[in-house]
């Protein structure tokens, strides 16, 4: 990133933090958490201990980070090296991101940026300016992406509350500040789980490794009465609805399943798990009991949007509500070959042209690498 772009972003982020201290707080038990941050054009700083909001606000104003993080884990010694921290427990956290949903709209709002010459263009195999194949994909998510992620979040919440009996009051959902949502489970018996046990939990939530026997097909002596019913709780009920469609089709569908055989049924269960009923979460995030997560209220250095709690996820519009940088006009050189929307305004496409845009749009484009300060 060019030095003048870095300076502009640092000034914009500092102003945001100065104006929005009310949104940024340390989590519960801060003295047991590990904090970390990144600055523009530099690496991660970890193993930091903070006691209260005053310490956090001082860190923000002193360092002007591009990204601020806090551990999901609690430690006896959070500022020590990882091997010496003495892990106690970790909040159960899930990450659902638009990039993992294979949505058809992605190709319409994804472009490439050449890492050799900086040219931005529509997706292709090489840079149209210098023919380099060193390319970076840049996505400017749309409302359809966000709707897809919200659908997965609601599926996950249903499994957590209905199947795992986690009280809804223990679950909070936050927009990540870029293309997805984070879901936190606090104060539950699952906080004591290690990585392996969380992996088993992930398999259940994503409907992975389902066995035909669990869903009615005995390999050696199949029985029609063993297949799932519509009114059953948990995965058996969900599988029944997905496989049979309606109660009237159930008998005929079961006959075909038995006729096709055990292996085909296993493949069908794998297929519906991946493509429909399984929740599409990032498993690596949940099993990592030492991960540090973006702090709520902080800005995302990939977009300039804020990570915010969503009390009503169905109504939450991240590209308006999380867009909290001011709207002073800024002149930039736009290199954005696709259209995007912020605060219900359309921007782009721009072909290496000098334009004047609100600061929130300038910050967004520079963070994405598709603009430079004029």
d(C-alpha 178, C-alpha 357), whole Å = 20
Relative orientation angle of helices 250-260 and 234-244, to the nearest 10 degrees: 90
Would you state the structure tokens that stand for residue 211, as one six-digit string? 């066995």
| Residue 367: closest CA among 47, 85, 113, 58 | 113
In this structure, the number of other CB atoms found within 10 A of the CB of residue 82 comes to 11
DSSP letter string, 245-256:
SSGGGHHHHHHH
Identify whether the C-beta of residue 142 lies closer than 8 Å to the C-beta of residue 109. yes
d(CA 200, CA 295): 27
Q: Other CB atoms closer than 10 Å to residue 169's CB: what's the count?
A: 8
The reply to whether omega before 121 is within 30° of 0 (cis) is: no
Which among 95, 136, 162, 317 is annotated as catalytic? 95
Residue of 5, 67, 91, 97 marked catalytic:
97
DSSP annotation string for 56-119: HHHHHHHH--SEEEEESEEESSTTS-GGGS-EEEE-EEEEEEGGGS--GGGGGGEEEEETTT--
Would you tell me how many other CB atoms lie within 10 Å of the CB of residue 340?
Answer: 21
The residue from 162, 282, 317, 326 that is catalytic is: 282
On whether the CB atoms of residues 370 and 338 are closer than 8 A, the answer is: no
Decide if 97 is catalytic.
Answer: yes
Token duo for residue 193: 């789980």
327 has catalytic annotation:
no
Active site residue 95: yes
Phi, psi of 192 (to 5 degrees): -85, -5
Q: What's the DSSP call for residue 228?
A: P
**Residues annotated as catalytic (active site), given as ranges:** 95, 97, 282
């Amino acid at each position: 990133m060019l030095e003048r772009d870095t300076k502009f972003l640092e000034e914009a982020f500092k102003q945001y933090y100065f104006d929005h201290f009310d949104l940024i707080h340390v989590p519960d038990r801060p003295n047991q958490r590990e904090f970390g941050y990144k600055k523009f054009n530099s690496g991660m700083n970890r193993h930091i201990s903070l006691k209260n909001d005053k310490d956090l606000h001082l860190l923000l104003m002193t360092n002007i980070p591009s990204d601020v993080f806090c551990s999901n884990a609690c430690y006896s010694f959070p500022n020590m090296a990882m091997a010496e921290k003495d892990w106690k427990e970790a909040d159960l956290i899930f990450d659902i991101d638009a990039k993992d949903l294979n949505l058809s709209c992605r190709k319409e709002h994804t472009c490439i940026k050449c890492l050799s010459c900086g040219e931005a263009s529509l997706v292709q195999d090489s840079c149209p300016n210098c023919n380099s194949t060193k390319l970076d994909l840049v996505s400017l998510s749309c409302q359809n992406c966000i709707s897809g992620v919200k659908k997965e979040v609601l599926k996950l919440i249903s499994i957590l509350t209905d199947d795992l009996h986690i009280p809804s009051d223990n679950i909070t959902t936050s927009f990540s500040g870029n293309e997805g949502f984070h879901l936190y489970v606090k104060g539950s018996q699952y906080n004591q789980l290690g990585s392996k046990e969380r992996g088993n939990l992930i398999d259940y939530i994503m409907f992975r490794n389902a066995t035909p026997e669990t869903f009615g097909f005995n390999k050696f002596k199949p029985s029609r009465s063993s297949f799932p019913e519509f009114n059953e709780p948990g995965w058996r009920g969900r599988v029944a609805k997905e496989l049979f469609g309606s109660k009237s089709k159930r008998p005929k569908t079961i006959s075909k399943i038995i006729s096709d055989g055990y292996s085909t049924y296993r493949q069908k269960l794998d297929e519906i798990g991946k493509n429909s009923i399984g929740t599409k979460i990032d498993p690596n995030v949940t099993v990592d009991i030492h991960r540090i997560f973006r702090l709520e209220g902080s800005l995302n250095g990939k977009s300039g949007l804020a990570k915010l709690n969503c009390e009503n996820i169905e109504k939450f519009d991240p590209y308006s509500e999380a867009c909290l940088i001011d709207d002073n006009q800024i002149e930039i050189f736009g290199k954005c070959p696709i259209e995007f929307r912020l605060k219900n305004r359309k921007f782009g496409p721009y072909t290496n042209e000098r334009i004047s845009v609100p600061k929130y749009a300038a910050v967004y484009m520079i963070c994405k690498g598709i603009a430079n300060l004029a």
